Amino acid sequence: MPRGGARRGAGRKPGTPNRVTAELQAAVAASGETPLDYMLRVMRDPTMEHPRRDEMAKAAAPYVHSKLAAVDATLQANVDGSVTFTWLPPDTDKDACGGSL
């Protein structure tokens, strides 16, 4: 009797689109302009109204620029007037740093 479980090499490889997604991507490529291309074209067109250009910039931004990661930071004012800024990447253990942050 066969047993269940994962089998090495079985299934679709990561990143491989299914049939519907592949057909959609092919149709978009055949049309000559992707939605992102459209948004960027409208955003860069100086003859368009500014509110529309602003909306296209907002809509295209997540596809062009990544979001900033959150970090833990402290800001300390020293007696001599200087300022000390300390930051930790999000995956750093605060207790390993002495727990003072």
Q: Are 55 and 49 in contact (CB under 8 A)?
A: no
Q: Output the pLDDT for position 101.
A: 44
Q: Is residue 2 part of a domain?
A: no
- CA–CA gap between residue 23 and residue 47 (Å, rounded): 35
Task: Return the exposure string of 57-85: e unless at least 16 CB atoms fall within 10 Å of the residue's CB, then b.
Answer: eebbeeeeeeeeeeeeeeeeeeeeeeeee
Rg value, the chain, Cα: 25
Q: Is residue 83 part of a domain?
A: yes
The answer on 87 and 74 residing in a single domain is yes
Domain range for 38? 32-64
The answer on 73 and 90 residing in a single domain is yes
Q: What percent of the chain has pLDDT over 90?
A: 23
Q: Give the predicted TM-score (pTM) of the model.
A: 0.46
The answer on 74 and 50 residing in a single domain is no
Confidence category of residue 80, pLDDT binned at 50, 70, 90: confident
Number of domains the chain contains: 2
Reported as a single tens digit per residue, the pLDDT across 9-45 is 888 888 888 888 888 888 878 878 888 889 999 999 9
